[in-house]
Amino acid sequence: MPIWIGERLVLLFPHEDPSSAYGRPYLIIDPGGKFGTGTHPTTRICLSILEGILREEQSVLDIGTGTGILAIYAGTRAAREVVAIDLDFEACKVCRRNIMQNGLDQKVRLINGRVEALSDRRLFDIVVANLEANTLTVVLPALRARAQPDGFIVISGVPAVAQSEFLSLLEKASLKVVSSVILDQWAGFLLGT
């Protein structure tokens, strides 16, 4: 059964007929067991934020990509270049399959490893990370280091009850909160650099 996300997006499983998206943009996602279908509130938060800021010819870095939903979405929305990174080898196998099923193998580059695995020091217009709060805390410096000076950082994975504490952490990291979203007890943030 198709999963409707936000204003415009439909998620389909590989066995589903694309006509079930009723003409709306769709992604074909195989969750690969433990890596998610895109229905989790934190993923939906990131997708809704990306929907509002993605523009043509932008570059996007997705850290902790999992099944690749956020990277694939960016690729279908005319981002110039998308790099997806994940530490988990099995997640990368699932992500690679999803990239291929969506016809984005020439646009979305997948890396199995840490952010440091990027061989160059290039910066991205948008850096996105949908990770657990503890992991976000650790990778905040890397997120900031990879974002353009006038770029955006999109993060989610913070329990809503911990939002105030996390906002203090963002302030200490000199990251400007442009907006925040709460959905089903989870918080996400659009940050400016």
- The mean pLDDT of the chain is 89
5 pLDDT more than 80: no
168: CB partners within 8 A, 6+ apart: none
Lowest-confidence segment of 4-18, 50-64, 102-116 by average pLDDT: 4-18
- Using CA atoms of 27, 33, 34, 38 in order, give the dihedral in degrees to the nearest 10: 20
In angstroms, rounded to a whole number, what is the distance separating the alpha carbons of residues 88 and 143?
19
The mean per-residue pLDDT over the stretch 136-153 comes to 93
The mean per-residue pLDDT over the stretch 8-29 comes to 82
Contact present, 58 and 38 (Cβ < 8 Å) = no
Q: What's the pLDDT score for residue 22?
A: 80
Q: How many CB atoms lie within 10 A of CB 151?
A: 21
In angstroms, rounded to a whole number, what is the distance separating the alpha carbons of residues 26 and 76?
9
In angstroms, rounded to a whole number, what is the distance separating the alpha carbons of residues 69 and 36?
9
In angstroms, rounded to a whole number, what is the distance separating the alpha carbons of residues 21 and 182?
27
Q: What's the pLDDT score for residue 8?
A: 73
Would you place residue 187 in the very low, low, confident or very high pLDDT band (cuts 50, 70, 90)? very high
Enter the tokens of residue 50: 């990306």
* Per-residue pLDDT tens over the stretch 37-89: 677 899 999 999 998 999 989 999 999 999 999 999 999 887 899 999 999 99
Q: Which residue from 144, 133, 137 is spatially nearest to 174, judged by alpha carbons?
A: 144
